Amino acid sequence: AQKVTQAQTEISVVEKEDVTLDCVYETRDTTYYLFWYKQPPSGELVFLIRRNSFDEQNEISGRYSWNFQKSTSSFNFTITASQVVDSAVYFCALSGPGGTSYGKLTFGQGTILTVHP
Amino acid sequence: KAGVTQTPRYLIKTRGQQVTLSCSPISGHRSVSWYQQTPGQGLQFLFEYFSETQRNKGNFPGRFSGRQFSNSRSEMNVSTLELGDSALYLCASSPKRGTSDTDTQYFGPGTRLTVL
C-alpha cells in the first residue's frame, strides 16, 4: 500500500521568509512518481512538479525548489522569499507505475501555508 | 488550451436523492480520474476511466459510480445521498500517452456538493 505523510499541518511565515514543506512517502513499487500540487482557496488543484523515482536530480523553478531523496523516502518543497500569493494548501502525492495504480494519486493530508505581509 | 471543466460548480441535495456530476477533460486527454475531498478524510481516489472503461476503483461503496463517453467526457453518479457525501468532488484528466507510464493529472475546479 502507498502512503504519503506531510508532517506539518499548518505553517505560518512572514513574507520574504523561506519555508520548507516536508513530504515522506511509502511504497513497495520500484518505479513510482511523486507530485506536488497547490490548492488555493478557489479549490482547484494546481500542478507544480512531477518527479520519477529513477530521477533523483533536484529541481529549481524560480522561487520553488524540490529536494528528492530516495534514501530517506522524502520529497521536500522549499519556497524561497515567500510571498502572500503563496498562501494555499500544498499537497504531496504519489502514484505507482500502472496496473492497480491506474489514474490513482495517493495524497498526503496537505500543509496549509499562510504567508503574512 | 482550455482546462478541465466541471459542472455544476455547486450543488445542494437532500438525503436519499441522487446526483450526477460532469467532467470535460482537456482536449486530447483520454484518462479521467475522480476524487472526493473532505476535511476529515482528505483527498481520496474514487475511480479512473480510460477509453470508456473503468480501470481502477477506490474504496467507496457501490452508490458511487461513473462512466466515460466516447469523447472522453465523464460523469459520476452518487445514489441515495448521505450527509457524509458532502464534499468537494474533483475531476482530473491526463493524456495517457502510454500505459507503461504515469501521466501528470490536471485538475478541474471541482463540484461542491452539500447534502442536507
Shortest alpha-carbon distance between residue A32 and chain B (Å)? 8
Confidence of residue A55 (pLDDT cuts 50, 70, 90): confident
Minimum-distance CB partner of B100 among A46, A98, A100: A98
Nearest to A92 by CA among A18, A13, A27: A27
Is-contact A34 A68, C-beta < 8 A?
yes
Nearest to B45 by CA among A52, A41, A98, A102: A102
Minimum-distance CB partner of A44 among B47, B48, B107: B107
CA angle A70, A108, A100 (to 5 degrees): 75
Asked if A107's CB is within 8 angstroms of B50's CB, the reply is: no
Mean pLDDT of A50-55: 88
Lowest average pLDDT, out of A15-24, A59-68, A76-85, A98-107, goes to A98-107
In one-letter notation, the amino acid at residue A7 is A
User: Looking at B25-86, which runs of residues are DSSP E strands?
Assistant: 31-38, 42-50, 53-57, 64-68, 74-78
In chain B, residues with a C-beta closer than 8 Å to the C-beta of A101 are: 56, 102
Q: In this predicted structure, what is the pLDDT of residue B97?
A: 57
Percent of chain A residues past pLDDT 90, beyond the cut: 77
Mean of the per-residue pLDDT values for chain A? 93
Q: In this predicted structure, what is the pLDDT of residue B73?
A: 97
Confidence of residue B101 (pLDDT cuts 50, 70, 90): low
pLDDT at A84 over 70: yes
Q: Which residues of A4-29 are buried (b: 16+ CB within 10 A; e: fewer)?
A: bebebeebebeeeeebebbbbbebeb
Cell of A117: 505581509
Minimum-distance CB partner of B104 among A47, A109, A110: A47
Q: In this predicted structure, what is the pLDDT of residue B36?
A: 98
In chain B, residues with a C-beta closer than 8 Å to the C-beta of A103 are: 31-33, 45, 47-50, 55-56, 94, 105
pLDDT at B102 over 80: no
Length of chain B: 116
Kind of pairing, strands A111-116 and A10-14? parallel
pLDDT digits (tens, 9 = 90+) for B46-84: 999 999 999 999 999 999 999 999 999 999 999 999 999
pLDDT digits (tens, 9 = 90+) for A4-26: 999 999 999 999 999 999 999 99
